[in-house]
């Protein structure tokens, strides 16, 4: 084999090696490319707003019987740990929120709330209770249609229903049992939650509850705040 032939073979070998190197580098670059993680578009209720996480969507059926007497007040006997804290009395708004009031009265008279807790306490905001699971995920197994009145505002002592966020709950349907009491006025919630009452006696008890130490992760009181008995006054 002459010298020129050897040179040609060497040139061809060099060219092939370069091609393989380029292809190899290109392949390595493609396989190492990172795809950006997709963010989940989970609906969030405004920060610190009353909420529930139940996935129940069944709407409560109305009773065939009607209440002959108009319920006027709800009285909640509260204890913090083993110590009696007093009573919270709130008036009801059956005219503005008839379905919500009728449902709350029915549950109270059936003893549903007795022994349940205020599971979420945020001072200078609100106290929330009425969940049989005690963590914001429970209820009686149904929701109530929204009854949001433009005439009712989230003043101090206002009583309203918790609910799921707007994405899962575009009609703003209320929790079947969870409710909250405003510790202070919270106007940013106006028009978004069903208000069905207002405290007329016992805001000092609400203040006591607001002072209870809580778990910073979920705002749950470290000492249970129990609704010993919830009664209806006509």
Homologous superfamily assigned to 73-233: Cyclophilin-like (2.40.100.10)
Lowest mean pLDDT among 67-71, 111-115, 164-168: 67-71
For residues 21-27, average pLDDT: 41
- Please tell me the predicted confidence (pLDDT) of residue 54: 57
Residue 12 has pLDDT above 90, yes or no: no
Residue 141 has pLDDT above 80, yes or no: yes
| Average of per-residue pLDDT values in the chain | 82
The closest alpha carbon to 76, from 193, 219, 201, 163, belongs to: 201
Residue 79 has pLDDT above 80, yes or no: yes
Residue 124 has pLDDT above 50, yes or no: yes
Residue 203 has pLDDT above 80, yes or no: yes
183 contacts 127 by C-beta, under 8 angstroms = yes
CA 166 → CA 45, 112, 195, distances in Å?
7, 27, 17
């Amino acid at each position: 084999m002459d010298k020129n032939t050897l040179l040609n073979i060497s040139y061809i070998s060099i060219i092939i090696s370069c091609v393989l190197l380029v292809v190899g580098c290109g392949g390595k670059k493609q396989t190492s490319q990172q795809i950006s993680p997709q963010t989940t578009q989970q609906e969030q209720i405004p920060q610190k707003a009353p909420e529930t996480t139940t996935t129940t969507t069944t709407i409560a059926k109305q009773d065939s019987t009607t209440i002959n007497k108009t319920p006027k007040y709800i009285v909640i006997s509260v204890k913090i740990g083993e110590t009696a804290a007093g009573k919270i009395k709130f008036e009801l708004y059956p005219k503005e929120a008839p379905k919500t009031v009728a449902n709350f009265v029915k549950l109270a008279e059936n003893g549903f709330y007795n022994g349940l807790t205020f599971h979420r306490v945020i001072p200078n905001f609100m106290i929330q209770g009425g969940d049989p699971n005690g963590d914001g995920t429970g209820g009686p197994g149904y929701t109530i249609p929204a009854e949001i009145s433009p005439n009712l505002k989230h003043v101090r002592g206002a009583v309203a229903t918790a609910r799921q966020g707007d994405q899962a709950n575009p009609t703003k349907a209320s929790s079947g049992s969870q409710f909250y009491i405003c510790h202070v006025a919270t106007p940013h919630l106006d028009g978004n939650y069903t208000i069905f009452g207002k405290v007329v006696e016992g805001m000092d008890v609400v203040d006591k509850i607001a002072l209870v130490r809580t778990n910073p992760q979920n705002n749950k009181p470290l000492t249970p705040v129990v609704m010993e008995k919830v009664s209806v006054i006509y």
